[in-house]
Amino acid sequence: MSKNQEIIDKTEKYALHVYNRFPIAVDHGEGVRVWDADGKEYLDFMAGIAVYALGYHFPGYDEALIDQTKKILHTSNLYYHQPLADAAENVCKATGMDKVFFTNSGAEAIEGALKTARKYAYLKDGKNDHEIIAMKDSFHGRSVGALSVTGNAHYQDPFKPLMGGVRFAEYNHIDSVKEQVNDRTCAIIMETIQGEGGIFPADPAFIKEVRKICDEKDILLILDEIQCGMGRSGSLFAYDLYGVKPDVVTMAKALGCGVPVGAFAVNEKVAKNSLVPGDHGTTYGGNPFVLAAVNAVFDLFEKNDIVGHVQKTAPYLTKSLEDFKARHPEAVKARRGVGFIQGLAFDESVPVGQICTKALDKGLLIISASHNTLRFVPPLIITEKEIDEAMGILDEVLEELG
Ligand SMILES: *Cc1c(COP(=O)(O)O)cnc(C)c1O
C-alpha cells in the first residue's frame, strides 16, 4: 500500500470526519512547493488557505522559531515578554491601530472583536440589547460567536440558536445596510474582501459609505482581514487600498505564516472605552513561540519587500486569469479580486470541485470558494514562471473536462 493511503486510512479510522480531504498526505514543503508522503511534488496555489505568505522555509523564518524554542515556548499572559512587546508594536504600526490582543485563531480574533463592540456600547448606555450587522455570504469562523455573524445558512442552521442580536445585510448594497441600522446597532462587521464567499472585494463607494454611517452613529466598523490582510491584496491591509480605517481589525492566517496565531487590533477610541482586566483572556494566545513567528514575518516582509513583490507580480496573475477566461469563454464567467486574492467564477455547469481534484492529479494544489469559484491565494512570493505553470495545468484540466 502507498504511504499516502496508509496515512489516509489511519486518519479516517480515528479523526472525526468533518473534512472531505483531498486524497494525499502532505509530507513537507520547500519554497512554493510541497511533497506528499509518496514523494510526488505539487505547486502550491492555496498556501495552507492563505497562510503561507512566505512559502515554506523562507530564509530566516525557521531560525527565528528555533531560537525561540531554545528560550521558552510558552508563559502565561500574566507575565510580560519581549516577543509580545515587539509583536504588539509591529501590529499597531502595520495596521495604524492603537492596541492589539493576540489569539490562537481567526475565529477567536472575531470573538474578541464582537465582545469589544458589545462592551463599547454597554459602557455608553448600560444596556444589553445591542445589535451587530453582518453581511450575507460572509465568513468569520466556526466558533458560535463567529458563526453567528457568518452569513451562510448551510454553516449556521444545524447549530441554532446562535448568538442573538445579529442582522444581515447585502454586501456591497448600502441601502440594505441602512435598513438594518437602528439605535441598538453597536457594530458592522465585514470582510474588506470576501474570501470564502467567492472573492468579492468591497466596492469603494460601499465601504466608504459604511464608514460614514459608523462615524455618524458611533457604530464600530470591524473589518475582517483574516484572509485578505498581510499583503495579499497588494497593500499590507486591504482597507488601505480604500483609504478607509476600521475601528477594529481582525487578522490571522498569514500573520504567523504557519503557526496558529490571530489578533484583533483597535483604535484609540475603542482601546480607551472597551475591554479592561477581567473582561477577556486566553491561556495560549500570543505566547512567546507564536509571536516570535509573527515578529519574524513582519521583519522578513520588510527586508524582502514582500508587498512590493505582490504589487509587481499580481498584475501578471490578473492578466493570466483574464487570458484564461478568454480561452475558455463558455466555462469562465468572471474574474474577481485583487493582488494575490483572486477568483475565477465558473459557469454552473462546470464542477469546480472536480477542477481542483484533477489539478491535484497534475501536481497543482488549488481550492474553491463559494459561488462556483476557483480561488487563487498562492504564497506571496510566487513568480510569473510559476503562475504560467499553474495556468498550463488548469488549461489541461479544462480540456479534459471538455
Ligand atoms: C479563515 C477565516 C476566518 C476564521 O479563521 P480560523 O483561524 O479558521 O478560525 C475568519 N474570517 C475570515 C475572513 C477567514 O478567511
Please indicate whether residue 52, judged by its CB atom, sits closer than 6 Å to ligand 1: no
Split at pLDDT 50, 70, 90, the class of 54 is very high
Task: Report yes or no: 38 and 216 within 8 Å, Cβ to Cβ.
Answer: no
Distance 88 CA to ligand 1 centre (A): 20
Looking at the DSSP bridge assignments, the partners of residue 400 are none
Q: How many angstroms separate the CA atoms of 385 and 142, rounded?
A: 36
- The torsion angles phi and psi of 332, rounded to 5 degrees, stand at -100, 125
Those residues whose C-beta lies under 8 Å from the C-beta of residue 317, and which sit 6 or more positions away, are 340, 342, 376, 382, 387
> Which triple of cell numbers denotes residue 371?
459561488
Q: Is the pLDDT of residue 19 over 90?
A: yes
Nearest to 340 by CA among 61, 90, 32: 32
**How many degrees, rounded to 5, is the angle at CA 62 between CA 8 and CA 87?**
110
Task: Report yes or no: 336 and 201 within 8 Å, Cβ to Cβ.
Answer: yes
Q: Which of 224, 225, 226 to mutate to test the pocket of ligand 1 (most atoms within 8 A of CB)?
A: 226
- The torsion angles phi and psi of 342, rounded to 5 degrees, stand at -130, 160
- DSSP code, position 261: -
- The torsion angles phi and psi of 44, rounded to 5 degrees, stand at -100, 110
Average pLDDT taken over every residue of the chain = 98
Distance 152 CA to ligand 1 centre (A): 14
Please indicate whether residue 197, judged by its CB atom, sits closer than 6 Å to ligand 1: no
Tell which atom from ligand 1 comes closest to the C-alpha of 105: 7
For residue 134, what is the enclosing H or E element? Answer: strand 131-135
pLDDT attached to residue 32: 98
Residue with CA nearest ligand 1 atom 11? 140
Residue with CA nearest ligand 1 atom 6? 106
pLDDT attached to residue 153: 94
Q: Note the pLDDT tens digit of each residue in 254-290.
A: 999 999 999 999 999 999 999 999 999 999 999 999 9
The stretch 65-69 carries a mean pLDDT of 98
Distance 81 CA to ligand 1 centre (A): 27
pLDDT attached to residue 81: 98
The stretch 328-345 carries a mean pLDDT of 98
The stretch 234-250 carries a mean pLDDT of 98
Tell which atom from ligand 1 comes closest to the C-alpha of 228: 13
Tell which atom from ligand 1 comes closest to the C-alpha of 194: 13
Please indicate whether residue 141, judged by its CB atom, sits closer than 6 Å to ligand 1: yes
Q: Is the pLDDT of residue 253 over 90?
A: yes
DSSP conformation letters of 35-59: EETT--EEEESSHHHHT-TT-BS-T
Task: Report yes or no: 96 and 245 within 8 Å, Cβ to Cβ.
Answer: yes
Cα torsion 60, 61, 66, 67: sign: positive
Q: Is the pLDDT of residue 207 over 90?
A: yes
> Which triple of cell numbers denotes residue 118?
458589545
Distance 65 CA to ligand 1 centre (A): 23
Give the distance between the most distant pair of CA atoms in the chain: 65
Q: Is the pLDDT of residue 85 over 90?
A: yes
pLDDT attached to residue 1: 86
Please indicate whether residue 227, judged by its CB atom, sits closer than 6 Å to ligand 1: yes
Q: Is the pLDDT of residue 402 over 90?
A: no
Task: Report yes or no: 377 and 340 within 8 Å, Cβ to Cβ.
Answer: yes
Distance 6 CA to ligand 1 centre (A): 30
Task: Report yes or no: 113 and 264 within 8 Å, Cβ to Cβ.
Answer: yes
Q: Note the pLDDT tens digit of each residue in 154-203.
A: 999 999 999 999 999 999 999 999 999 999 999 999 999 999 999 999 99
